[in-house]
A and B are shown apart, each in its own frame.
Chain A
Amino acid sequence: MSDANLIIFLSTISTGLILGSIFALVAVGVTIVYGSIWMPNAANGQFFVLAALLGWTMTVSWGIHPAIAAILVIGVSVPLSYGLEYILVRRFYDVPNRNISYFVLSLGITQILTGIFAATYGRWSDQFQLPPLVSGITFIGPLPVANNRLMVLALALSILAALFALLRYHRYGRAIRAVFQNRDAAALRGVNVKASYSLSFALGNAVIFAGGILFALAYSFDLTVAWTMSITAFAIMIIGGPGSVLGAVIVGMVFGFTQAAVSTVASPTIAAFSYLGAMLLILLFKPSGLFAR
């Protein structure tokens, strides 16, 4: 393999990993919320962008170090989630067909955030960039990779791993998973279903926020990222099987690699069509998703 080809090959892998792990984070956040409280949160993209914008304000306007800003941003999501849960989300816990109610609700939230962003950040710039977490370049073979990207990748993978550990081994995580599987059965087994709902809502959003701030650290962004991310996260969730964290991670990674790899043999536009096409095929032939519980 010539040097040039090796660089293309290695960059495909690095891009697939970074993009995939960020997609996976957001999709996991969405799937946790959908799996537990049946809320297809269309505002996930706006939350994602909100995290990125808050990170931008903290680092660029206030001069906070990006690492601290990242932690603060994820921290901010918790009171925000609990507030939303308290004011709006919990009203629908027992509504039949609540996924539709939630969808409408999240569209309302989307509109409000869109309006706020347009009236504030939208007037300041059409693109936003955070300072890097770390500087410098590391060579992986012939491929130079910015240390900042490697750091983002490491963080994204650690958060995913921590999430897995939480859901598998911690009692909160087990409670959430029990409610995922069967809310009534979980209640019978002594799980506090309502508490687990608010916990999953907060956890899911925290993961989305983490995805948003990591994205902002790895890439420049603008306000239009919100919708793209919403649709992508939904697509990943559907293919992976709603409520399946493993599915979201695997399919998120596949999406990342598809975007990176297909474009080496065809155009990037074909890459976009290809994963949406894959989604339709899966829906038609295995509608419960690849990793349905």
Chain B
Amino acid sequence: MTPVTEKKDLSLLAKGHGLPLACFAVVAFATPFLLSGNRYFAFVAGVTMIHILWASGMNLLYGYTGLMPLMFAGLAGISAYTVVGLTASGWSFWLALPVGALAASISGIILGLPSLRLKGFYFTLCSLVIQTVVTLGFIYFSGLTNGDTGISQIPLPSMGGGQPLSGLAYDLVLSAAAVIGVIVLIVIVKSTLGRRLIAIREDDELAGMLGINVTGYKMIAFFIGSLFAGVGGALYAPYIGFISPRSFDVLISMNIWLMVAFGGRGTIWGPVIGAILLAPLSFLLQEYYTVKDILYGLLIIAVIVLMPAGIAGGFLRKKKESAPPLDVPATPRGAK
């Protein structure tokens, strides 16, 4: 009868994620080995891992904080360009990565400022325009970014001993990044920080009234979410070997967001599933290129019509509805 405490709540929910997390980690680390015979499928899996990381970051912002930042890919791009620039001037990739990720985070905070004044979808439209400006910036400041030509032959990061990080080793690094990203997200969501963010998502005015520093926590969400974008962007550049403004344009932002919406915003695993299903799609549908966009569009519409809360959301909601009522009879108390 006693209200469940924060702590009990935490352990209960953490337990709820323990098994899927273990499964995910096993799959994530096993995949590169299983696919090591085929560099192409391994590559597609690697790109998917980066998207899982990105989707988790987007999920923190969109799913848990209620902000829909369509400049997410732009932030990844800021990090990627920073890292490529720094490594070209002699930095080690592993030193450049945190700097790039930090650059993305700081940019995320600055570009996220409109979210303090703009609510809901208004901010989304604004971020769409911000993304456009960022893309224009990548093209315009060609001294730093090489414009729309892009930068090719990005060297692979080196491992210890001067060996380049390639093949299986790189894939494992990406798997680790995805797994760590998901773990970080779980920890955040289960912490009081997560509770504050959810409160802001649900009703930021009410959250402020309850003593939650809405401005501060939105900025923290942007900082962390952009960090996901940044780490992903930094790892993406040498993995693909090429970056250009088109690698981080609005369509990529929308794609990442779609993975979250498709999988189920505000759930840990929905966006992971979304990324696993959608990220490889464009690689695997290669032969159906004429109808690929159409199929993709139909898929989007089908999901929004049939499962508006995403795959995980649709599944969870059904489960919730079919669960027996949790009502406990009220303690009888004397009437006044």
Contacts and interface: CB of A to CB of B under 8 A. Distances in A.
Contact of B129 (A88, A116, A238): A238
B294 A115 contact: yes
B133 A118 contact: no
A40 B121 contact: yes
A279 to B, nearest CB: 6
A108 B300 contact: yes
A109 interface: yes
B291 interface: yes
B297 interface: yes
Nearest to A288: B122
A265 interface: no
B301 A100 contact: no
Given A238-B125, A283-B126, A99 B293 contact: no
B293 A111 contact: yes
A269 interface: yes
B113 A284 contact: yes
B261 interface: yes
A91 interface: yes
B37 to A, nearest CB: 33
A107 B300 CA distance: 8
Contact of A231 (B114, B128, B291): B128
Contacts of A284: 113-114, 117
Contact of A108 (B126, B290, B291, B298): B298
B136 A272 contact: yes
A189 B113 CA distance: 40
B298 A276 contact: no
Contacts of A71: none
Chain A contact-residue range equals: 35 or more
B254 interface: yes
Nearest to A270: B140
A100 B298 contact: no
A31 to B, nearest CB: 12
Interface of B is mostly: helix
A78 interface: no
A251 to B, nearest CB: 13
Interface in A217-271: 227, 231, 234-235, 237-238, 242, 269
Max count, chain B CB within 10 A of own CB: residue among A97, A113, A283: A283
Interface in B104-126: 113-114, 117-118, 120-122, 124-126
A101 B120 CA distance: 13
A105 B301 contact: yes
Contacts of A88: 301, 305
Interface string B294-308: 111111110111001
Contact of A276 (B114, B129, B254): B129
B135 to A, nearest CB: 10
Contacts of A95: 308
The residue among A107, A227, A238, A276 with the most chain B CB atoms within 10 A of its own CB is A107
Given A95-B308, A287-B117, A269 B300 contact: no
Contacts of B136: 269, 272-273, 276
A77 interface: no
A95 B258 CA distance: 19
A108 B304 CA distance: 9
Contacts of B300: 104-105, 107-108, 111
A121 interface: no
Closest 7 CB pairs of A and B: A115-B293, A111-B297, A112-B297, A108-B300, A108-B301, A115-B294, A287-B117
19 contacts: A40-B121, A40-B125, A104-B261, A105-B300, A105-B304, A107-B297, A111-B297, A111-B300, A112-B298, A115-B292, A115-B294, A116-B294, A231-B128, A237-B125, A273-B136, A273-B140, A283-B114, A284-B117, A287-B117
Given A227-B250, A276-B132, 16 more contacts: A95-B308, A99-B121, A105-B301, A111-B296, A111-B300, A112-B297, A112-B301, A114-B297, A115-B291, A115-B293, A118-B290, A238-B126, A280-B129, A284-B117, A287-B118, A287-B122
